[in-house]
Structure 1
Amino acid sequence: MKSFAPLLLVLAAMEGISLSQNAPYDMPPTVEPPYYRVRYAASSQPAELSYPVAYTVWMPPGVEKLRGVIVHQHGCGEGSCKSGQTGAFDLHWQALAQKHRCALLSPAYEQPAGTDCQMWCDPRNGSDNAFQTALTDLGELSGHPELAEVPWALWGHSGGGHWAGGMLMLHPNRIAAVWLRSGVPLFEAVEGRNIKPHTLPDAALTVPTMCNFGTKEGYTDKESRFKGVWPSNETFFKAMRSRGALLGIAIDPLTSHECGNSRYLAIPWLDTCLSERLPETNGQPLRPMPQSTAMLAPLPVDEAAFTAAVPAAEYKGVLATSIWLPNEAIATAWKQFITDSNVADVTPPPAPTDVQIVGDQLTWNAAADLESGIGHFIIERDGKTLATVPEKPLNRFGRPLFQGLQYSDTPTVPLATMRWTIDKLKPGETNPYRVRSVNTAGLISP
């Protein structure tokens, strides 16, 4: 990958130069610190990546040394690949990264329409090497060279789940946790498809992993376009759990292949895993996931199986088909998620900061609520509500979000901005406006 002249590509990306990108990949959001981007051209060399790829990273402000990197990996096809361009800008995922002093990285593979997704979502076809090259180059560019060495937490959707699971098979000792939304690695060849089986190493069994997919992906809807997702997840699950893997299943009761409200379980789950596994000192190995707090539940096969998890020591079912959950709090959230996806939240979001007026523009900054993100903002003047921003929060894939939501769980474009047009203040008039955050659970900030 070094042959792709990454420095030139980095500088070009920072200046907004397309470097022969073709639509729909020629207009990614611009970057400036704390965002950084590198882009690599396609290669015709064996075992190197045959598609162009751009990696955008967000570095948590005020962090001297990173402890890890959270990777948000899109799925297959032009639409999903393009959606990867905004993944690092997601305020909700940034809140998770900030808490654990992690970078947030979002790749965007430039897969041409009608081509084979396996050429990138199987990491052995060059995307593993490209990813690790990007960590090195982005680390140097951002002043965080430790990015090349810190542990990874991987989230992947569809083909991105295939990629994240493949990376688990290749690099289990580098990975703190893995969330697989609607895609898993396979341990046997698939007739008629260019899918090479993976080998399951013992070290992968110790990495907390969650399989998450929609009920309409072959679980309740057997004729769906995505009907093969549940059978492949079930096969993967049984192969892993029969050997004691720390693996769970969370079936989204409302969706098909779209990500829906899965982030409201994925982010708390990853928060728990990162809290337990990330070493405090760089260079030390990942810590083992504690088993004293683990909860188990039966693998769902019908409505009667949606039962509450119990402490692992009290579980009476077959361990090889039990769902592993890290602790009671996650087990409670998991039970709510598989019931109606409405994971509860009782803590209000943090208040916005830096509320300013420039001309006729009211601007502010806000960190997302870790549990429930940002649904919208309330604009007040003299204690009275004037407006909400956006006026009508929308999201056809789940809870309404300030940033909106694309199919692959990334913000919509153009990126939402924290601003509202006001009547200009009179000379000497003090700022009469206040702003409140409202999370997606409806809780209001100070």
Structure 2
Amino acid sequence: MPRILKSCLLFLAALSTTAIGQQAPYDIFPDAKPPYYRVRYEASNQEGELSFPVNYTIWVPPNVSSIRGVIVHQHGCGEGSCKSGLTAAFDLHWQALAKKHDCALLGPSYEQPEGTECQLWCDPRNGSGDAFVKALNELGHQSGHPELANVPWALWGHSGGGHWAGGMTLLHPERVAAAWLRSGVPLLEDNPQRPSIKAHTVSDEALRVPIMCNPGTKEGVTVKDGRFAGVWPANEAFFQSVRGRGGLVGVAVDPLTAHECGNQRYLAIPWFDACLSARLPRKENGPLQPMPTDDVWLAPLAGFDATPIASFDKDPLTAVWLPNENIANAWMQYVKDTNISDTSPPPAPSDVEVNNNRLTWVADADLESGIARFIIERDGKVLAMVPEKSQNPFGRPLFQNLQYSDTPTQPLVPMTYDDHTAKPGVSHTYRVIAENTVGMRSEQPSAP
């Protein structure tokens, strides 16, 4: 058996297993009260329809007049990864991206039983594509934003979710503003495949959609064996096929990880920001805009240095495509050690209130670096950190913590603090300061 075919088969087999450290069931999830909305569909036994139940939860930015797009955060295969999708729409960092562009944030959660075939949902032609479109219609009516049925999509997918996001891009390129494929890509007609998996074709329109492939180095790049060793050969074959035809495809190898998502969001979110800024329609119901070509940078596949296209001295159709200089600089730092820098402080928390010694507040995440924690001051002195210790075994510590599939843990961490040391009858002044994941603090702390 040829090595690349064997690697791809091992990769596809690995996708059907449960992500590390996550458990079913699917009936524990945050309430969907406005600005959150949810629909659920039961499994169908009809041919061509989705054979697993599925929940779709969406967040709509408060006070937005008209939605311009939908950002989809799609989990991977197996019960644990499917469960992790239940919190995707509640992620403050991804909400910051959505809010900037007047987009909704959608988190699907397929109820895939352990040991069943992942392709039954991660291939959108098996009913999940139609269910997704149906959900946008219903969620649009629920939320009072019927335009959700027609706006463009920005698709992020992990593992089997990368298959789904890539498949939706190839099936509906006119709707996709950009796609980020973490550790999973769709199989193409000219690439090795299992007989049970239908290949995709690549249209000329699909070549104009910016796509970023994002495997971990331990998925076949520097570690050539193991459970996910087939990820890199699959990514390499996808890249060569699409980029060789002029597709706008990049590859960002995570230098620290295997199949877990690591720190990818610190490149993915700025990359989506650049793509959405360039591509979202200028008017309602208008077409997606083409990506600009005047500031493109290129880099060798699995390399570490990017240069402007004008100074790239190799075949550009073999090179990683990067949309502009800012993303190229972030990409070079990411593929080195993932420590992408950020020089802007996070937004200051607002609406700080004190009620019976309980503090509550509201805060948006730093678009570039998210939220690591909140610092509580009482009478000008530091009183506490919330949370006391952020947890994220897969990357930078975050206020909401993170699961294997890059979604917040349950139960969701609330923006509250109980001051048990306050003395009855004594008035105090409190401040809440946000700190992002590079250690920068909000400049104007809020005070009640």
In structure 1, the residue corresponding to 2:402 is in which secondary structure?
coil
The worse-fitting range, judged by mean Cα deviation, of 97-106 and 356-365 is 356-365
Deviations 1:196-241 (A, max 9, x none): 1001111010001100010000100001210000000000000001
Q: CA deviation at 1:426?
A: 4.4
Distance 1:96 1:269 in 2: 10
Cα distance change, pair 192–285 in 1 and its aligned pair in 2 (3 A): closer
Contact 2:377 2:383 in 1 (8 A): yes
Amino acid at match of 2:54: V
Q: CA deviation at 1:318?
A: 1.3
Aligned match of 1:246:
248
Q: Is 2:432 aligned against 1:435?
A: yes
Aligned length: 419
Deviations 1:149-192 (A, max 9, x none): 00000000000000000001100000000000000010147665
Contact 1:154 1:175 in 2 (8 A): yes
Aligned match of 2:304:
306
Deviations 1:404-431 (A, max 9, x none): 000110000110011111145645x554
Q: Is 2:115 aligned against 1:117?
A: no
Aligned match of 1:382:
379
Deviations 1:7-55 (A, max 9, x none): xxxxxxxxxxxxxxx9511112111000000000000001000000000
Q: Is 2:317 aligned against 1:320?
A: yes
Equivalent residues in 2 for 1:347-366, closer than 5 Å: 347-366=344-363
Contact 1:118 1:194 in 2 (8 A): no
Q: CA deviation at 1:360?
A: 2.5
Amino acid at match of 1:86: T
Aligned match of 2:179:
178
Equivalent residues in 2 for 1:190-339, closer than 5 Å: 192=194, 194-300=196-302, 305-307=303-305, 309-339=306-336
In structure 2, the residue corresponding to 1:87 is in which secondary structure?
helix
TM-score (normalizing by structure 2) = 0.92
Deviations 1:354-385 (A, max 9, x none): 11111121111110000000000101112111
Contact 2:297 2:309 in 1 (8 A): yes
Contact 1:95 1:368 in 2 (8 A): yes
Distance 2:193 2:308 in 1: 41
Deviations 1:307-328 (A, max 9, x none): 2x11112211112210100000
In the alignment, structure 2 segments of 5+ residues that lack a partner are 1-22, 444-448
Aligned match of 2:73:
72
The worse-fitting range, judged by mean Cα deviation, of 430-439 and 320-329 is 430-439
Cα distance change, pair 192–289 in 1 and its aligned pair in 2 (3 A): closer
Aligned match of 1:13:
none
Distance 1:23 1:40 in 2: 18
Aligned match of 1:19:
none
Amino acid at match of 2:314: G
Equivalent residues in 2 for 1:8-23, closer than 5 Å: none
In structure 2, the residue corresponding to 1:214 is in which secondary structure?
coil
Contact 1:91 1:368 in 2 (8 A): yes
Distance 1:193 1:228 in 2: 17
Q: Is 2:410 aligned against 1:408?
A: no
In structure 2, the residue corresponding to 1:200 is in which secondary structure?
coil
Aligned match of 1:93:
94
Contact 2:297 2:328 in 1 (8 A): yes
TM-score (normalizing by structure 1) = 0.92
Identity of aligned residues (%): 64
Q: Is 2:25 aligned against 1:24?
A: yes
Aligned match of 2:41:
40
In structure 1, the residue corresponding to 2:441 is in which secondary structure?
coil
Aligned match of 1:56:
57
Contact 2:187 2:193 in 1 (8 A): no
Cα distance change, pair 106–156 in 1 and its aligned pair in 2 (3 A): same
Amino acid at match of 1:185: P
Aligned match of 1:342:
339
Aligned match of 2:108:
107
Q: RMSD across aligned C-alpha pairs, in angstroms? A: 1.3
Distance 1:398 1:284 in 2: 38
Distance 2:187 2:278 in 1: 28
In the alignment, structure 1 segments of 5+ residues that lack a partner are 1-21
Contact 2:228 2:259 in 1 (8 A): yes
